[in-house]
């Protein structure tokens, strides 16, 4: 029987273990999986906390339904009937600029009428049609890409806030090819973003005319999807479906390659062995684990930085907030000088996030452009968030409910050179038969990305087993 150790029980490790078990069973392979998690709970940064009638997400609060990976996992787990999607109001997203909230335009006429961009800024975006395609292979940052194709104002008011909201990142360091590969591909394939929009719109019209099914736009990047009891229901259901052994409080300190597999040494001194090892842990943690087995991988892994983040949940009686909460929330350009990156109107996005007659706002503070925020006291964090909410939404009342969650290493940063680092890691891993890795530090930070990488890793593991058994 082949023993497979999966290290790390966040969404990446859980879905990898599940995918390996399911795929191996479908191909008639006999395996024994062991999932090892250093913490005393499963789920990694996916954690839903219900207190005083409020539902707070410690980490991510959902996944987008524009890709099938997580929806398919929910279907296989039998929890798809419990999914909840953000309502239509969540399509309304805002940018705080010039001391007011501007709704992000969803079409051409709305863009022309919007006061978010100045007319010179709008005209500069229109000129994108005439900007030539970049020919060299240098790994361009999002800042460089934004200024080159859309102009400085679009970078500051549109691209940078989006990068902060998704990655908590700095566009001047983040790789456009690694962070937004689709945008990079559109320029390469069509010559520019506006050209791509026109061609794709024409293609959709032709498909509709031919009676073919065409996916409709469902808000920016799809509809945010979760569960009424929070996203943790997904990780709980995945863990419950596993057939192998699951251990919490089992911190692996070192991996050793042996002639026929691997030796794993735990921090408490316990030793385990496995034929195959799959890691699904942060880059910095994997670097320490691989110090003896692959110095090359350890050095490359340490070059992947992480951004810190404070997640701040405020609960209010609805009557204390005069501002409309009809929407998803807002992001804030760095130039506005605010302490937070943005605020989600969580109880407007999903039902049952706050008690009857109350609302919950979820603000993000920190990121790559404000890393010292992680060191602020709880009192300072609360004061800074309250000041920003007062200036942006006119909220003078103190919150009735406060929870502050701190993530020293919140989100991996796909900085310039990330693609080359991945190639180096993959090349080094190929030289260690039976060793595989995934996680959000490598192939995408979203839930869909993690599930997709888990499925791909399962195919690689099972393919390795089948090839080994035929030799």
| Cross-strand pairs, 314 | 361, 402
pLDDT of residue 420: 97
Q: How far is CA 424 from CA 243, 301, 409, in A?
A: 34, 10, 23
Indicate whether this model's pTM tops 0.85: yes
Question: What is the C-alpha separation between 69 and 65, in angstroms, rounded?
Answer: 9
**Exposure on the CB side of residue 189, measured as CA atoms within 13 A:** 12
pLDDT tens-digit series, residues 334-362: 999 999 999 999 999 998 899 999 999 99
Question: Which segments in the chain show pLDDT lower than 50?
Answer: 213-220
Phi, psi of 329 (to 5 degrees): 135, -160
Identify the CA nearest to 444 among candidates 409, 414, 415, 424: 414
C-alpha dihedral, 108 to 111 to 112 to 117, nearest 10°: -150
Q: Which ranges in 136-260 belong to alpha helices (H)?
A: 142-149, 152-154, 160-167, 176-179, 181-190, 193-209, 232-241
Domains located in the chain, CATH noted: 2-44+238-304+415-470 (3.50.50.60), 107-132+140-209 (1.10.3110.10), 306-412 (3.90.660.20)
pLDDT tens-digit series, residues 392-447: 999 999 999 999 999 999 999 999 999 999 999 999 999 999 999 999 999 999 99
Identify the CA nearest to 94 among candidates 119, 112, 108, 115: 115
What is the b/e burial string over 265-281, where b = at least 16 CB atoms within 10 angstroms of the residue's CB?
bbeeeeebebbbbbbbb
């Amino acid at each position: 029987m082949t023993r497979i150790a999966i290290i790390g029980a966040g969404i990446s490790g859980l879905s990898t273990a599940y995918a390996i078990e399911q795929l191996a069973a479908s191909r008639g392979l006999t395996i024994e999986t062991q999932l090892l998690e250093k913490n005393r709970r499963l789920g990694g940064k996916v954690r839903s906390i219900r207190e005083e009638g409020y539902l707070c997400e410690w980490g991510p609060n959902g996944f987008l339904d524009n890709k099938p990976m997580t929806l398919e996992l929910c279907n296989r787990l039998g929890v798809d009937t419990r999914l909840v999607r953000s309502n239509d109001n969540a399509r309304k997203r805002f940018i705080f600029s010039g001391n007011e909230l501007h709704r992000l335009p969803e079409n051409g006429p709305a863009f022309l009428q919007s006061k978010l961009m100045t007319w010179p800024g709008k005209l500069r975006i229109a000129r994108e049609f005439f900007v030539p395609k970049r020919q060299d292979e240098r790994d361009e940052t999002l800042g460089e890409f934004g200024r080159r194709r859309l102009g400085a104002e679009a970078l500051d008011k549109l691209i940078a806030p989006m990068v902060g909201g998704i990655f908590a990142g700095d566009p001047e360091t983040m790789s456009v090819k690694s962070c937004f590969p689709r945008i990079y591909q559109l320029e390469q394939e069509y010559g520019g973003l506006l050209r791509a929009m026109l061609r794709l719109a024409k293609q959709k019209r032709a498909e509709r005319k031919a009676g073919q099914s065409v996916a409709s736009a469902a808000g920016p990047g799809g509809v945010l999807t979760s569960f009424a009891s929070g996203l943790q229901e997904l990780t709980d259901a995945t863990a419950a479906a596993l057939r192998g052994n699951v251990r919490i409080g089992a911190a692996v300190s070192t991996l050793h390659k042996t002639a026929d597999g691997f030796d794993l040494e735990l921090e408490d001194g316990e030793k385990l062995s496995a034929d195959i090892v799959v890691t699904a842990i942060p880059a910095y943690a994997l670097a320490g684990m691989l110090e003896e087995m692959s110095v090359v991988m350890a050095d490359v892994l340490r070059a992947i930085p992480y951004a810190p983040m404070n997640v701040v949940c405020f609960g209010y009686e609805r009557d204390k907030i005069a501002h409309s909460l009809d929407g998803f929330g807002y992001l804030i350009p760095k130039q506005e000088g605010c302490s937070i990156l943005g605020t989600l109107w969580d109880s407007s996005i999903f039902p049952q996030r706050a008690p009857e007659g109350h609302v919950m706002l979820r603000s993000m503070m920190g990121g790559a452009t404000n890393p010292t925020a992680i060191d602020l006291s709880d009192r300072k964090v609360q004061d800074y968030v309250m000041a920003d909410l007062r200036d942006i939404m006119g909220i003078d009342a103190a919150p009735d409910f406060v929870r502050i969650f701190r993530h020293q290493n919140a989100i991996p940063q796909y900085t310039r050179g990330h693609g080359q680092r991945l190639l180096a890691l993959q090349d080094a891993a190929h030289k260690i038969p039976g060793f595989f890795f995934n996680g959000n530090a490598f192939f995408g930070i979203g839930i869909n990305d993690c599930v997709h990488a888990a499925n791909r890793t399962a195919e690689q593991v099972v393919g390795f087993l089948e090839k080994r058994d035929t030799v």
